[in-house]
Amino acid sequence: MSPEPNGWKGASLCLVAVFLPSFLLVIGALPFWNELRQRTWAQSALRGVNAAVVGLLLAALYHPVWTAGIGSAKDFALASSAFLILFMWKVSPWLVVLFCAFAGAIIGPA
């Protein structure tokens, strides 16, 4: 048995712990946002934060998403086609998910 809190109580606690700090920062900075945006040091800090977020997202894309999800050439072809459908033809994401589920069922496991 895992320690308390677990289940939905633990999930709710984790959700609050992850999102509450950012909400508090936004609420706290909102009255000063226009003035903050004009300061060069704040602009530099925001550019740095933006770059760090992009790096974290790329790291999360590679491991565990890429390493667990792309195991063969078929998987790579399906992921590439989903990317092209999303960004080149601007198809709705839920339709791309349905397409990938259908194509994955037809192609079968790697």
Please tell me the distance from the alpha carbon of residue 46 to that of residue 29, in angstroms, as a whole number.
13
Can you give the pLDDT of all 110 residues of the chain as single tens digits? 678 888 899 999 999 999 999 999 999 999 998 998 899 999 999 999 999 999 999 999 999 999 998 999 999 999 999 999 999 999 999 999 999 999 999 988 76
* Residue 98, amino acid: L
Global model pTM greater than 0.85? no
Q: Enumerate the domain spans of the chain.
A: 1-38
| Cis peptide bond N-terminal to 64, omega within 30 | yes
